[in-house]
Structure 1
Amino acid sequence: MSEKNRDGKRNARDRLAVEREKQRAADRRRRTLIVGASVVCVLGLAAVIGIVAANSGKDSGSTASGPVVAPSGAQGKDSLAIPVGKDSAKSTLTVWEDFRCPACKAFETTYRPTIHELTDSGQMRVEYHLVTLIDGNLGGSGSKRAANAAACAQDAGKFRDYHDVLYENQPEETDDAYSSNAKLIELAGKVPGLVTPTFRACVNDGTHDSWVAKSNKAFQSGGFSGTPTVLLNGKNIYQDSTLTPAKLKQMVEEANKK
């Protein structure tokens, strides 16, 4: 083989190797973007764990004092779950979420129509657990203030509608707009009949702050990696990359047949 041919083949192999490395790098970037944009608001990073540990007992999401006042109709252990749907439903979807968490908004936006359909038809009930992960990670009090306001809406029998309004109007993750009670009451105006003197007082007085703090502690001790954490009949399903609204509906229908 001539020297020229050997050089040509070597150059071709080198170019191929370079192209393969470029493709691998692109694949890595794509996977990173997918995980960062849509999976969870993560608690598990070492740096974040260090911050949370250092701020344990310090941040506004975990220091609420006073009696623990659960919202009306709260259920489960320590009355930390806000139920939506019929008690007679055979399947239960458990959702741990934070009103400041963008991944929680992504989950709600994608799955809300299906969740509403399944709860309205009596096939499934949802148990919402409210946490203050973003307050702990980024500072501020928007997670706690919004969770308290949502609990106040539960007292008025309007949790689901207000819950949806909060996600539809969610600010940027670094914008602590929900720390303003006035903003939360303004958004409550989008839910007919919710803004009453009782609701205003509940929001402004932080009636359920200690309950929110207790819910957040339950999340921390539960060993969950981030929000949203979604369990169907006790099984974590949101980590399944193949999950879709249609698959969720199928899973509920199959579970209800058993």
Structure 2
Amino acid sequence: MTNDRQKRAARAEQMRKEREKASRRQRNRITTVVVVAVVALIAAAAFGYNQLQKENDKPLVAPANATEDFAIPFTTEVSTGKPAAADPVTVTLYEDFQCPGCQALEAGAGTDMKKAVDAGQVTLEYRPVSFLNNASTTDYSTRATNAALCVLDEKGVKAFYDMHQLLYANQPAEGGEGLTDDTLAEMAQQAGASDKVSSCIDDGRFEPWIEDATNAWRDAGYGGTPTVVVDGKEVTGESGGQQVIPSWADIQKAVTAARQG
């Protein structure tokens, strides 16, 4: 009887070991399957992300008629067809087409600035930036700037100036959708662009350039628009002891000081 019990115990032990081996093999197979599945999911996610990046990434394209440091010079010759008689003073304007203050600057000083350009006294150096996309539901700031650059690229600085004027004359209120791309294309054609400008506007062709221009503005230490700079110095107005948007008189005073040296 003792031998029988020992044999039964031995068989039971052997069966237990075999069950454990089978169980380990099953767990290993499951683990392998899970690992393979996770790796496949990670690979698929990475592939999808890379494809999305490829779709979203746009090449950096600089618009024709802009300088390498993101300026658009509106000179006497551009405006009138005649060169300036003397060296004009450069008035740099950092603007965002969604910025109400920029519209106010244009309304208050724009006509006089244009006269000063035509008279050969100043060059207006436009430096458009886009940091007010959150003021609309459709990134209007960037879309409007891109539309202006599409005009610049196709038809030059004078047409850009006309588009600049149209954008401020029709500036949408903050918080809404902004003007549609179709409306921007219509305005671009009013400024002299062809109907081909629509594809440039729809594609957002100059968005990477706009981002770089905006970053350059920030790197220069500016944080708001409009920013007016004459002879390396920021020009502001003053009212009640507070800085306000400069008037033409403020800008003219800075231009005179720059000319005198």
For the residue of structure 2 that corresponds to 1:177, the secondary structure is: coil
Q: How far apart, CA to CA, are the structure 2 residues paired with 1:127 and 1:219? A: 13
Which of 115, 119, 130 is the aligned partner of 1:132?
130
After TM superposition, give the deviation of residue 221 of structure 1 in Å: 2.2
1:50-65 matches, within 5 Å, as: 65=57
After TM superposition, give the deviation of residue 123 of structure 1 in Å: 1.2
For the residue of structure 2 that corresponds to 1:125, the secondary structure is: strand
Matched, 1:183 2:183: yes
After TM superposition, give the deviation of residue 147 of structure 1 in Å: 0.4
Amino acid at match of 2:232: G
1:35-46 matches, within 5 Å, as: none
Match of 1:112 in 2: 110
Counterpart contact for 1:123–1:256, Cα < 8 Å: no
Which of 65, 74, 82 is the aligned partner of 2:66?
74
Q: How far apart, CA to CA, are the structure 1 residues paired with 2:70 and 2:183? A: 25
1:200-219 matches, within 5 Å, as: 200-219=198-217
After TM superposition, give the deviation of residue 121 of structure 1 in Å: 1.5
Match of 1:224 in 2: 222
Q: Structure 1 254/79 Cα, relative in aligned 2: closer, same or farther at 3 Å?
A: closer
Match of 1:122 in 2: 120
Counterpart contact for 1:71–1:152, Cα < 8 Å: yes
For normalisation by structure 1, the TM-score amounts to 0.67
Q: How far apart, CA to CA, are the structure 1 residues paired with 2:161 and 2:149? A: 10
Residue by residue over 1:187-222, the C-alpha shift from the partner in whole angstroms, topping out at 9 and shown as x without a partner, is 22432x32x133222212222111111111112222
Deviates more, 1:205-214 or 1:142-151: 205-214
For normalisation by structure 2, the TM-score amounts to 0.66
After TM superposition, give the deviation of residue 117 of structure 1 in Å: 0.8
Matched, 1:162 2:157: no
Match of 1:85 in 2: 75
Counterpart contact for 1:99–1:170, Cα < 8 Å: yes
Q: Structure 1 255/79 Cα, relative in aligned 2: closer, same or farther at 3 Å?
A: closer
Amino acid at match of 1:101: C
Q: How far apart, CA to CA, are the structure 2 residues paired with 1:190 and 1:124? A: 26
For the residue of structure 1 that corresponds to 2:141, the secondary structure is: helix
Amino acid at match of 1:227: T
Residue by residue over 1:207-241, the C-alpha shift from the partner in whole angstroms, topping out at 9 and shown as x without a partner, is 21111111111122222121111111211002544
After TM superposition, give the deviation of residue 116 of structure 1 in Å: 0.2
After TM superposition, give the deviation of residue 70 of structure 1 in Å: 1.5
Counterpart contact for 2:136–2:178, Cα < 8 Å: no
Q: How far apart, CA to CA, are the structure 2 residues paired with 1:220 and 1:252? A: 24
Q: Structure 1 94/117 Cα, relative in aligned 2: closer, same or farther at 3 Å?
A: same
Counterpart contact for 2:98–2:135, Cα < 8 Å: no
For the residue of structure 1 that corresponds to 2:132, the secondary structure is: helix
For the residue of structure 1 that corresponds to 2:62, the secondary structure is: coil
Q: How far apart, CA to CA, are the structure 1 residues paired with 2:250 and 2:221? A: 26
Counterpart contact for 1:97–1:130, Cα < 8 Å: yes
Residue by residue over 1:29-75, the C-alpha shift from the partner in whole angstroms, topping out at 9 and shown as x without a partner, is xxxxxxxxxxxxxxxxxxxxxxxxxxxxxxxxxxx732221111212
Q: Structure 1 140/221 Cα, relative in aligned 2: closer, same or farther at 3 Å?
A: farther
Q: How far apart, CA to CA, are the structure 1 residues paired with 2:230 and 2:57? A: 33
Q: How far apart, CA to CA, are the structure 2 residues paired with 1:251 and 1:216? A: 25
Higher relative contact order (CA 8 A, sep 6+): 1
Q: Structure 1 91/65 Cα, relative in aligned 2: closer, same or farther at 3 Å?
A: farther
Matched, 1:94 2:92: yes
Q: How far apart, CA to CA, are the structure 2 residues paired with 1:100 and 1:147? A: 9
Which structure has the greater CA radius of gyration? 2
1:136-147 matches, within 5 Å, as: 136=134, 140-147=138-145
Indicate the RMSD between aligned Cα atoms, in angstroms: 2.2
Unaligned runs of 5+ in 1: 1-63
Unaligned runs of 5+ in 2: 1-55, 78-83
